[in-house]
Amino acid sequence: MKQAITGYHRDEEDDWVAELQCGHFQHVRHRPPFINRPWVTTAAGRQAMLGHLLLCKKCDRGEPKDAPV
């Protein structure tokens, strides 16, 4: 199921985590050359991706929410 990004925070390893509309969290790592998300490294880039739809596998699996919506 696709869900919009509503915000971000960093985890204990300093990786960026997107907060989705459905209440699930999803890592949005930038680890070139395997995972390329240069937008996540800048505040402007993250801002521009608010509302972008990400595929939420946790929704597909029916997992409980990571945070209250």
- List interacting residues with Zn ion (CB under 5 A): 22, 24, 56, 58-59
Would you say 33 or 51 has its CB closer to Zn ion? 51
- Collapsing DSSP states into helix, strand and coil, what is residue 45? helix
Q: What minimum distance in Å lies between the beta carbon of 23 and Zn ion? A: 7
Q: What minimum distance in Å lies between the beta carbon of 29 and Zn ion? A: 18
Contact 28, 16 (CB under 8 A): yes
**Tokens 């998300």 -> residue:** 37
Q: What minimum distance in Å lies between the beta carbon of 57 and Zn ion? A: 8
Name the amino acid, one letter, at 53. L
